[in-house]
Amino acid sequence: MDHKIIVITGGTTGIGFACAAYLSNLDYQVVITGRSKENLEKAITKLGNNSVGVLSDTSSLTDIDDLVQKVKNQFGKIDGVFINAGIFKASSFENTTEAIFDETMNINFKGAFFTIQKFIPILKNPSSIVLNTSIVVFKAFANSSIYTASKAALESLSKVLNIELAEKGIRVNIVSPGVTETPIQKKSGMSDETIDNLLEHFSKTSPIGRIVQPTDIAPIVAFLLSDGSQVLRNEKIIVDGGTTL
Ligand SMILES: NC(=O)c1ccc[n+]([C@@H]2O[C@H](COP(=O)([O-])OP(=O)(O)OC[C@H]3O[C@@H](n4cnc5c(N)ncnc54)[C@H](OP(=O)(O)O)[C@@H]3O)[C@@H](O)[C@H]2O)c1
């Protein structure tokens, strides 16, 4: 049987890794990216035979070109891309520096934009692109202005892509996670106490009574990447345990 081939940007930890593990268990071939060699090697060891790792910084167009070339050389055409690589730096609007602005937009939006653009020639007809955005697009959180703008930009792109890429059989849909327990919080600059309070708040106020885990997101992403979602366009699935109801 032919394996379906999916590229996951930022597949070494958190949501991306959980999706890679879920898909490789379903016999997909997954290609994951990340910047940390150590994390990439750890992830590939855990994922096993159905996985390939490529060190690639999504904010670098040269790295994206190299990634596409490597994937093309090894697999030819692919079935989908999960645009997942992303960062969050907690900062009030007034304290957001140009460096935080550029880093966030370059990874979360520019990287996503050009990754999609450069993968188009090797996407099959039909194929699926899934964008990882966030509930911040419709529910305001303090200290997340540039992160929120980067995710809103990504969501707005989805509509246009669904029109422009329709004739190539490429569909674009969105997964919008709520606060999910991953390494992103520790990398955000928030103190351990703030993170604990945040996770406790979302556990207590959620209808599911606990924080969302990356493994909760994986089956949703797998569905959007699968043939079962072939007629969906610009659909957004909110995976937040009901916290924004
Ligand atoms: N956790 C949440 O509460 C939450 C909620 C909504 C949406 N999201 C979104 O989910 C996505 C994944 O985040 P996560 O929560 O799973 O956090 P995470 O564990 O920190 O995962 C981020 C992944 O992206 C990679 N990455 C970061 N910058 C990169 C770059 N420049 N080039 C390539 N890879 C890069 C990381 O690897 P390296 O560090 O090695 O580069 C890692 O594999 C992000 O887009 C985030 O915005 C998260």
CATH of the domain at 106: 3.40.50.720
Examine residue 40 and state whether it is found in any structural domain, yes or no: yes
Ranges of beta strands (E only) in the chain are: 5-8, 29-34, 51-55, 78-83, 123-132, 170-177, 236-239
**In angstroms, rounded to a whole number, what is the distance separating the alpha carbons of residues 240 and 245?**
9
Q: How far is CA 92 from CA 100, 146, 202, in A?
A: 11, 9, 21
CA angle 66, 68, 69 (to 5 degrees): 65
Q: Which atom of ligand 1 is closest in space to residue 214's alpha carbon?
A: 16
**In angstroms, rounded to a whole number, what is the distance separating the alpha carbons of residues 157 and 52?**
28
Examine residue 64 and state whether it is found in any structural domain, yes or no: yes
Examine residue 197 and state whether it is found in any structural domain, yes or no: no
Examine residue 124 and state whether it is found in any structural domain, yes or no: yes
Task: Report whether 171 contacts 232 (CB < 8 A).
Answer: yes
Examine residue 188 and state whether it is found in any structural domain, yes or no: no
Residue nearest to atom 47 of ligand 1 (CA): 86
Domain total of the chain:
1
Range of the domain at 96: 5-182+214-238
Query: CB of 53 closer than 6 A to ligand 1?
Result: no
Examine residue 209 and state whether it is found in any structural domain, yes or no: no
Question: Three-state DSSP class for 51?
Answer: strand
Residue 195 reports pLDDT greater than 80 = yes
Examine residue 199 and state whether it is found in any structural domain, yes or no: no
Examine residue 141 and state whether it is found in any structural domain, yes or no: yes
Question: Average pLDDT over the chain, rounded to whole?
Answer: 97
Residue 3 reports pLDDT greater than 90 = no
How do residues 43-76 score in pLDDT, each as one tens digit? 999 999 999 999 999 999 999 999 999 999 999 9
Query: CB of 232 closer than 6 A to ligand 1?
Result: no
Query: CB of 176 closer than 6 A to ligand 1?
Result: no
